[in-house]
């Protein structure tokens, strides 16, 4: 299933007006998207608030699941940040932003590794679920090791992890464990911050407030969140080889998204969109034919030859 990642509607991807953000939401939902993923720090709540406004509208459809993430409003790199007081305050703020009493899914937002082994943190999430503040909880992770630690916890219903043609380690290590445990997998950064759109070149520039400009070396947050941690020029070379493996008439972003949805154990994929056309085309990819075998083979070959040495050991 193709969902919609709503980071772009908050901040860090260049300017997206409120009208454009609402149009993206409408286009995605009209195209069959039923899962929206956001976070309390995307635009300091702007993304959540826009989703809340959209879903409160008279024409909003029923059956839309909203997932948000908490844990990065205070220092996210300090385990002591994840106190009961903070967790409750973050969840309550997100409920207000979204305009709901119960959030469908709350995810810890890439916390320090120690948090995945902290019983008190998950006790608070259990309590919030019992109280009705959230219907279920999961985690967003940076590494496969963190994903496996989360899957081992009985209350976790979902794990969000970077999974795309430039990040193959989760296929071997995380997906089988998730299937065995009955835990959903949310694949984020599926187009490697747009690299796998095939639209970029060495001459492409990004706005000053776009993380693809300021976070290429990990200056603001984990570098793996920008281009999946792949060096930009290396990524362009990899994209050229993947494009060459596609038959005529098949676009790279559609193939890259459909390839992820075809992986056993993947529950949903959450590409972002800054324009309505992107929301519609991403949703359509989920209904397209499975990518040809030659593309899947090329994904593995390109990864092994160009990316494995730098990416596999780190995440």
Q: How confident is the model over 236-269, as pLDDT tens digits?
A: 999 999 999 998 889 999 999 999 999 999 999 9
Q: What is the pLDDT of residues 197-209, one digit of tens each?
A: 999 999 999 999 9
**CATH H-level superfamily of 4-311:** NADP-dependent oxidoreductase domain (3.20.20.100)
Q: Provide the mean pLDDT of the chain.
A: 95
DSSP assignment of the chain, as one string? -B-EE-STTTSSBS---HHHHHHHHHHHHHTT--EEE--TTTTTTHHHHHHHHHHHSTTPPS--EEEEEES-SS-TT-GGG--HHHHHHHHHHHHHHHT-SSBSEEEEES--GGGGG-HHHHHHHHHHHHHTSBS-EEEE-SSHHHHHHHHTSTTEEEEEEE-BTTB-HHHHHTHHHHHHHT-EEEEESTTGGGGGGT---TT----TTBHHHHTTTSSSS-GGGSGGG--HHHHHHHHHHHHHTSPTT--HHHHHHHHHHTSTTEEEE--B-SSHHHHHHHHHHTTSPPPPHHHHHHHHHHIIIIIHHHHTTT-
Query: What are the residue boundaries of the structural domains of the chain, listed by start?
Result: 4-311
Record the pTM: 0.95
Instruction: Band the pLDDT of 13: cuts 50, 70, 90.
Output: confident
Provide mean pLDDT across the span 120-133. 98
């Amino acid at each position: 299933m193709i969902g919609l990642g709503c980071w772009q509607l908050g901040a860090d991807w260049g300017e997206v007006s409120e009208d454009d953000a609402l149009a993206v939401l409408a286009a995605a939902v009209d195209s069959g998207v039923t899962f929206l993923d956001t976070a309390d720090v995307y635009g300091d709540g702007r993304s959540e608030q826009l989703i809340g406004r959209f879903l409160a509208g008279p024409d909003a459809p029923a059956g839309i699941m909203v997932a948000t993430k908490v844990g990065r409003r205070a220092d996210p790199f300090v385990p002591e940040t994840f106190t009961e007081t903070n967790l409750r305050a973050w969840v309550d703020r997100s409920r207000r932003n979204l305009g709901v009493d119960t959030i469908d899914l709350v995810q810890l937002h890439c916390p320090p590794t120690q948090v995945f082994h902290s019983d008190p943190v998950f006790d608070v999430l259990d309590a919030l679920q019992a109280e009705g503040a959230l219907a279920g909880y999961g985690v967003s992770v940076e590494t496969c090791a963190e994903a496996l630690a989360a899957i081992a916890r009985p209350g976790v219903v979902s794990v969000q992890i970077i999974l795309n043609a430039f990040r193959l380690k989760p296929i071997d290590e995380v997906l089988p464990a998730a299937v065995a445990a009955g835990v959903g997998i949310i694949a984020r950064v599926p187009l490697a911050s747009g690299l796998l759109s095939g639209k970029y070149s060495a001459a492409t520039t990004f706005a000053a407030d776009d993380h693809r400009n300021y976070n290429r070396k990990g200056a603001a947050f984990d570098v793996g969140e920008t281009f999946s941690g792949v060096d930009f020029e290396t990524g362009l070379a990899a994209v050229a080889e993947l494009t060459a493996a596609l038959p005529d008439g098949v676009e790279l972003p559609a193939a890259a998204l459909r390839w992820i949805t075809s992986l056993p154990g993947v529950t949903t994929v959450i590409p972002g969109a800054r324009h309505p056309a992107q929301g519609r085309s991403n949703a359509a990819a989920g209904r397209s034919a499975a990518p040809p075998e030659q593309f899947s083979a090329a994904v593995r070959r390109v990864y092994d030859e160009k990316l494995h040495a730098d990416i596999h050991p780190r995440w």
